[in-house]
Amino acid sequence: MAELGGGKAPPAPPLARVLPQGENGVGGGAVRVGTRRSQLARIQTDSVVEMLRELYPDVHFEIVAMSTTGDKILDTALSKIGEKSLFTKELENALERNEVDLVVHSLKDLPTSLPPGFTIGAVCKRENPLDAVVFHPKNCGKTLHLLPEKSVIGTSSLRRAAQLKKKFPQLEFRDIRGNLNTRLKKLDEKEDFSAIILAAAGLKRMGWENRIGQLLSPEDCLYAVGQGALAVEVRAKDQEILNMVSALHDADTVLCCIAERAFMKRLEGGCSVPVAVNSMLSDGQLYLTGAVYSLDGSDSLKDTMQTSVNYPQQNEDGPNDDVQHVGITAKNVPGQALQAAENLGVELASLLLSKGAKHILSVARQLNDAR
């Protein structure tokens, strides 16, 4: 990916400015980091804390783990629960109560509109955003094309199921819930599933890359908004912590994810409807492909648009210093580039809406509610 003109993250702010003694519960240099309890969430949080420790070696970081609604409800498909902040609400409550100073999330778990008083202060460099197929040991070496007819594929994602039903009509798709460990155990120890679909990023972070039997290209399966990226959520008015985490921003990832989130927000999408994207930055041009699907994949709309994000970094201190773009505050990325990325997402969604996307999504939502 091309470097943006002036879009690279600046060096970390000086510590004394970042953590004044006694403010915001970080007196004495202790910063509390909230995370979900799952093994993957802990690995992701540890990786962010490790980056912060390298930037701020004198600060003590304390990790506070908690369970979320999404972790507790394991017998219902995510799309059926109807709660936008399934994996984030308890963490945000702790942030609001000043029990933690920042929270690490998978960006795809964060709604496009955050509750008042919060912002995403950092989006870290994205891991591979593609979906991956993990096969039952007896199907090792196969691809989805080679599985016998009526083979059952496990996925809790309407987005994945809609795209793959259309591409592989001979296969059957069934919900599978639980964290990564649980899903892999269900796959390996029972005969219920021939394969399951998971995010490649999570498998890689867990050290299970060797389980990936097939990577699904964007032609096979567009990915979820924000997939593969980690987000650091903070209190919007907590300037010290906001300055501190902003050094973690990856400019390319920020621009791609702002475009994706703006696309989703304009469509009013969520995990209860199949919305999918693919974004790429090359030579100062940001390309966004977005699509909406009916639940069975038979009806869909898909298009691609591009825009220039090649703007120089300007001194933008002042009243607009902390402008949020679909929940993200990124002072160290040129403001014009951020706005162009957001506009791209909105314009692409508007194009699909003008072609009938609202009808496809409302039918998908109704059918999902009736399931």
> Which residues form the catalytic set?
109
Spatial distance between the Cα atoms of 186 and 193, rounded to a whole number of angstroms: 8
Task: Collect all residues with Cβ–Cβ distance below 8 Å to 97 and sequence separation of at least 6.
Answer: none
Residue 303 contacts residue 351 (beta carbons within 8 Å): yes
Q: Quick one: which of 371, 350, 354 has its CA closest to 158?
A: 371
**Cα(365)–Cα(71) distance, rounded to whole angstroms?**
23
Asked if 341 and 262 touch (Cβ cutoff 8 Å), the reply is yes
Q: Give 241's contacts (C-beta < 8 A, 6+ positions apart).
A: 18, 24, 26, 31, 101, 102, 121, 234, 235
Q: Look at the block and give the residue holding tokens 């924000």.
A: 226
- Whether the CB-CB separation of 144 and 164 falls below 8 Å is answered with yes
Q: How many CB atoms lie within 10 A of CB 355?
A: 14
Per-residue 3-state assignment (H helix, E strand, C coil) for 213-269: CEEECCCCCCECCCCCCEEEEEECCCHHHHHHHHCCCCHHHHHHHHHHHHHHHHHCC
Question: CA-based angle 329:335:341, to the nearest 5?
Answer: 85
On whether the CB atoms of residues 105 and 87 are closer than 8 A, the answer is yes
* Collapsed DSSP state (helix, strand, coil) of residue 197: strand
